[in-house]
Amino acid sequence: MTVGLVVVIVVALAFDFTNGFHDAANSIATVVSTRVLSPRAAVVWAATFNFVAFLVFGTKVANTIAKDVVDPASHVLTVGVVFAGLVGAIGWNLITFYLGLPTSSSHALVGGMAGGAVVAAGPHVLVETGLRKIAVFIVLSPLIGLALGLILTVAIMWTFHRTRAVERLNRGFRRGQLVSAAAFSLGHGANDAQKTMGVILAVLIAAKEVSPTSGVPLWVVLAAHAAIALGTLSGGWRIVRTMGSKITRLQPVGGFAAESAAALTLFFTSAQGIPVSTTHTITGAIVGVGSAQRLTAVRWGIASQVVWAWVLTIPGAFAIAAVIELGMRLVK
Amino acid sequence: MKDRRAVLFLCAAAVAAVLIPASDPKLAWVPAVVAVTYLLLAALSALDTLGRRHRQ
């Protein structure tokens, strides 16, 4: 293994760490805002399920990232290009973290890798079908989350509408949120850790450390899950505030419905090998829960701010990665 | 205050329908199911709003 390869793997794991750090809010915002768990207990809970996700899900998403964004046959994904892509994604994550915006680390990664590859060899090296699949689910994942969040909320309301013991019901859903938060963290770990695995697999293939047809080595799987879990343990409180209370105020029932809806969406997409944004998915689900009451329960100003951040993520990370790749070429 | 849920859900159904031809053929059923779901949600929301107005 060359020094460059080791550096890229370390940077990829650092990206995974920032992903956990950035997206910790998604897993635990509702649990914290409904006071089911203290912030400290919530991050430990989420990090545990982030880590054990590797026991449940395969590595289809990793293969999509490694082989369906930039054509592996073009041999453009060198150590330098992957490095530029990762720096682009991390740079974008840090900018949006500073601004307190819940953007997608996943799409930052896709944008970064595409930006580095396009500067290195031109747009023909991008895999159109793979990017189209990712682009379609950029839009679909929040829509699926929203519909499931709304349907689950209405189903729960219908099931319990005759219940008079509201306090008891709330207590039940507070406990239920432990399960739904765990399920969401499992989905988050599965989908997001696999993106880092995909980057490491791509660079290992580029460095001829593994064959292009081989699967993800076990040490890569364990390292990626450990990095995202450690990132979650570090937490990101600015975004917790945006997700948990600024979009719509949630009761335990709403938190349970939102997390369950998002978890179902993530389980499905992970099983299909589709890299989606956990941030998009949970935001859609929270809006779905809010709109079960009335649309005015949703703070559309914040929601639209989030949508703008989504729209800008791929071009933003693409541009940073392109500048880094250009800079490295000039230095050479 | 007006309830605009039906309009929002119709827009979501239209967006999902537009994504059907752009999808991977193996996964084209996903936006199709999402579009149909939002159409149903739009219809139910419209009926709910009409029912509330009728009761008032």
Query: Residues A160-182: pLDDT tens digits?
Result: 877 777 777 878 888 888 899 89
How many CB atoms neighbour CB A58 within 10 A? 15
Tokens at residue B20, please? 């059907």
Count of structural domains within chain B: 1
Domain around B20: 5-55
ipTM value of the model?
Answer: 0.92
Q: For residues A314 and A92, what is the distance between their CA atoms, to the nearest angstrom?
A: 9
pLDDT for the residue numbered A305: 66
Digit-coded pLDDT (tens) for A187-241: 988 888 888 898 898 888 888 888 877 788 899 989 988 888 888 787 655 555 5
Q: CA angle at residue A261 from A260 to A267, to 5 degrees?
A: 85
In Å, how far is A268's CA from the nearest CA of chain B?
Answer: 11
Please state the domain extents for chain A: 3-327
Residue A297 · residue A91 · CB < 8 Å: no
Digit-coded pLDDT (tens) for A247-261: 556 678 888 899 999
Helices (H), A127-165: 128-160
In Å, how far is A280's CA from the nearest CA of chain B?
Answer: 15
pLDDT for the residue numbered B21: 93
pTM: 0.84
Chain B residue numbers touching A295 (CB-CB < 8 A): 3-5, 8
B22 touches chain A (CB under 8 A): yes
pLDDT for the residue numbered A220: 92
Report which of A104, A23, A51, A90 is spatially closest to residue A229, judged by C-alpha positions. Answer: A51
Q: For residues A109 and A93, what is the distance between their CA atoms, to the nearest angstrom?
A: 9
pLDDT for the residue numbered B36: 97
State residue A216 phi and psi, 5-degree precision: -80, 125
Report which of A93, A88, A113 is spatially closest to residue A103, judged by C-alpha positions. Answer: A93
> How distant is the alpha carbon of residue A280 from its chain centre?
8
pLDDT for the residue numbered A126: 92
Write the single-letter amino acid at A32: V
Report which of A287, A282, A239, A240 is spatially closest to residue A261, judged by C-alpha positions. Answer: A282
- For residues A59, A21, A283, A90, the Cα torsion angle rounded to the nearest 10 degrees is -80
Chain A residue at shortest CA distance from B33: A144
